[in-house]
Amino acid sequence: MRDRSSRGPNSPRDGGFERVGEALRLGYPELLVSKRRLRQVESIQLVRERRETETQNLGFSSRPFVLCGLPVKRPPTGCLLHERRNGRFVLQVTGHPSYGLPWGQDRLIPIFLATLAIRQKSPRIQFSSAAQMLDAFGLQQGGSQYRRLIASFQRIFGATIFFGTDTQLERTAVVHCARFNFMTEARIWYSRYSNEQLLPGDCQNVILLSDQFYREILDHPIPTDLDAAKALSSCPAALDLFMWLSYRCFTATRQEWIPLFGRFGLASQLGSAEYARPRKFREKLEGWLGIVRAMWPMCPAVIDEHGTGLMLDRAYAVSPKDQARPA
């Protein structure tokens, strides 16, 4: 009789059976799905179902960060100025010397703040815990994530924003521009459990938005799908593209062509890198569009046959009944 101790770790169990996971790993590795991948698929399915049934989790974003994106990747050490352009609009973000520029998932905080400001109809917004925000965007809770959240708030709080029109492109003498900070005060208490109820005497999480940022949100509220933002939180560039296409396709009155390159090109609006080779940006854009289409199968945006522009048409990523007036 064969000694059981001589079996290797991948040998069949008693009776000739193996664990299902082990059998798949050895014989059919292509059938295995990671937990992260499974969560992504579930999130995409949720976004599609809620759009079809018009039960979307509606949030809001502010116009400067829909028209022009924050840095996608961590800026180089010492870099404190970020600039993006969208046609005649220009966005400049100056980072705090101690905290640096906002980047990556930091862009979720302005969405969170704008959504609560619209819902609560006040520049003084409150929420139950920092864990609520982590949960709102599908970020895992724990000490390390909390520290990342605090660092994000520090970068957002310390940033100075300039948003306006390029005077060199304006034919009129009236040019609208504004320089502002996101917040003037922030007090955040961390609770590890997002469903923990605070007693009346407990400290609430309070953020006071700057007058300029609050006015921008009220004057130009741009609806977005919070479930889609949650699903795209780990891919900031695709999130920026999704929010911009949601807005741009809603405001389109006919089929339109957006250049990819040049002074008014999409490459100057998205991401944070200067693409030396057009082919590299097209590859990136095609990948981001693939992610957007997974969330929004009816998205009409496609790169033209010459690879020089993006064709789009009128469409709805957010149910029309939930759309606020366009900016």
**H-type helices in 252-318, by residue range?**
278-295
Does residue 190 contact residue 131 with C-beta atoms inside 8 Å?
Answer: yes
- The chain-wide mean pLDDT, for the chain, equals 83
For residue 189, give the nearest of 199, 180, 179, 181 by alpha carbon.
199
Q: Which pLDDT value is given to residue 195?
A: 47
Q: Which pLDDT value is given to residue 278?
A: 87
Higher confidence at residue 175 or residue 56?
Answer: 56
Q: Quote the pTM value.
A: 0.82
Q: Give the torsion through C-alpha atoms of 222, 88, 81, 225, to 10 deg.
A: 20
Q: Residues 6 or more apart from 289 whose CB is under 8 A from it?
A: 241, 299, 301, 302, 303
For residue 99, give the nearest of 69, 77, 114 by alpha carbon.
77
Q: What is the pLDDT of residues 160-204, one digit of tens each?
A: 999 988 655 545 444 467 888 999 998 877 554 444 444 444 557
- CA 56 → CA 43, 47, 221, 224, distances in Å? 13, 8, 17, 9
Q: Is the dihedral of CA 320, 324, 326, 327 positive or negative?
A: negative
Q: What is the pLDDT of residues 100-134, one digit of tens each?
A: 999 999 999 999 999 999 999 999 999 887 777 78
Residue 158 is inside which H or E element, if any?
A: helix 143-158
Q: Which pLDDT value is given to residue 5?
A: 46
User: Which tokens go with 94?
Assistant: 């100056």
Residue 25 binned pLDDT confidence (cut-offs 50, 70, 90): low
Cβ neighbours of 211 (radius 10 Å): 11
Q: Is the pLDDT reported for residue 148 higher than 80?
A: yes
Burial 23-40 (b: 16+ CB within 10 A, else e): eeeeeeeeeeeeeeeeeb
Residue 17 binned pLDDT confidence (cut-offs 50, 70, 90): low
Cβ neighbours of 55 (radius 10 Å): 11
Q: Which pLDDT value is given to residue 190?
A: 59
Does residue 220 contact residue 148 with C-beta atoms inside 8 Å?
Answer: no
CA distance 124 to 68: 26
Q: Which pLDDT value is given to residue 136?
A: 78
Question: What letter would DSSP give residue 100?
Answer: B
Give the E-state strand segments of 226-277 in sequence order: 256-259
- Which amino acid, one-letter code, is at 94? T
CA–chain centroid gap for 60, Å, is: 12
